[in-house]
């Protein structure tokens, strides 16, 4: 009596998620049931996450990008997404504030998680984004951003750093907030679309 059933949502986690997301207690309980139905182990593996991306992008190569997104959501770096990480990701990509989204974008670009972004890290993410854009669509990109290298140069030049410099989180967020053109270059809006579609599917 009084003990939480195993697999139940703990009061602490519930309170934490209520404070940090827009979801109500009822919504969180409902999400939790759906999450357990889809992932009885209570965790999403990287392979499961990649296969979700693969199913949405049958004609592209989303694996590298999916891995980067997974890393950015795996807050405790244990190689799986638990319910808390899943809900935070859902909240961020569907309704988070701009600053929260940019904090997430910074985490996405900070591949080695050391708190700064190098030009190589930008190149790595931009390459994975290009793998998601069809060859046909790539032809329509402006001349100075139609390859991963050109786009990386364009983003890097904007921040005014030396070739081997580093961008801090504060510089990154401020820079992108000040320049919508950079926002467009760093992002790929498909993750939001994927999340939306997952949401529709589950509701
Ligand atoms: Ca985790
Ligand atoms: Ca880094």
- C-alpha 65 – ligand 2 centre gap (Å): 16
Q: Which residues are within 5 Å of ligand 1 (an ion), measured at CB?
A: 74, 76, 78
Q: Which residues are within 5 Å of ligand 2 (an ion), measured at CB?
A: 110, 112, 114
The residue with greater pLDDT, 188 or 47, is: 47
Tell which of 61, 94, 127 closes a domain: 94
DSSP string, 31-59: HHHHHHHH-TTS-EEHHHHHHHHHHH-TT
- C-alpha 83 – ligand 1 centre gap (Å): 9
Work out how many domains the chain is built from and give that number.
Answer: 2
What domain range includes position 55? 11-94
Model pLDDT for residues 189-203, shown as the tens digit of each residue: 544 455 555 556 555
The residue with greater pLDDT, 135 or 25, is: 25
Q: Within this chain, do residues 144 and 179 fall inside the same structural domain, yes or no? A: yes
Distance CA 91, CA 70 (A): 15
Measured from the alpha carbon of residue 117, the closest ligand is: 2
Model pLDDT for residues 52-107, shown as the tens digit of each residue: 888 888 888 999 999 999 999 999 999 999 999 999 998 888 877 889 899 999 99
Q: Within this chain, do residues 32 and 87 fall inside the same structural domain, yes or no? A: yes
- C-alpha 39 – ligand 2 centre gap (Å): 31
Tell which of 59, 94, 129 closes a domain: 94
| Mean predicted confidence (pLDDT) in 153-157 | 96
């Amino acid at each position: 009596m009084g003990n939480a059933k195993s697999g139940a949502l703990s009061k602490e986690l519930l309170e934490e998620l209520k404070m940090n997301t827009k979801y109500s207690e009822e919504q969180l309980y409902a999400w939790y049931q759906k999450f357990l139905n889809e992932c009885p182990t209570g965790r999403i593996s990287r392979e499961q996450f990649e296969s979700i991306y693969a199913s949405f992008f049958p004609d592209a190569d989303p694996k590298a990008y999916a891995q980067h997104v997974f890393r950015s959501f795996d807050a405790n770096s244990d190689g799986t997404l638990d319910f808390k990480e899943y809900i935070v990701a859902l909240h961020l990509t569907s309704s988070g504030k701009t600053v929260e989204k940019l904090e997430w974008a910074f985490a996405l670009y900070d591949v080695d998680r050391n708190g700064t972004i190098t030009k190589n890290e930008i190149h790595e993410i931009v390459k994975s984004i290009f793998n998601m854009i069809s060859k046909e669509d790539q032809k329509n990109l402006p001349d100075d951003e139609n390859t991963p290298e050109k786009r990386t140069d364009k983003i890097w030049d904007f921040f005014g750093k030396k070739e081997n410099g580093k961008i801090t989180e504060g510089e990154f967020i401020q820079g992108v907030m000040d320049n919508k053109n950079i926002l467009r270059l760093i992002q790929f809006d498909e993750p939001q679309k994927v999340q939306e579609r997952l949401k529709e599917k589950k509701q």
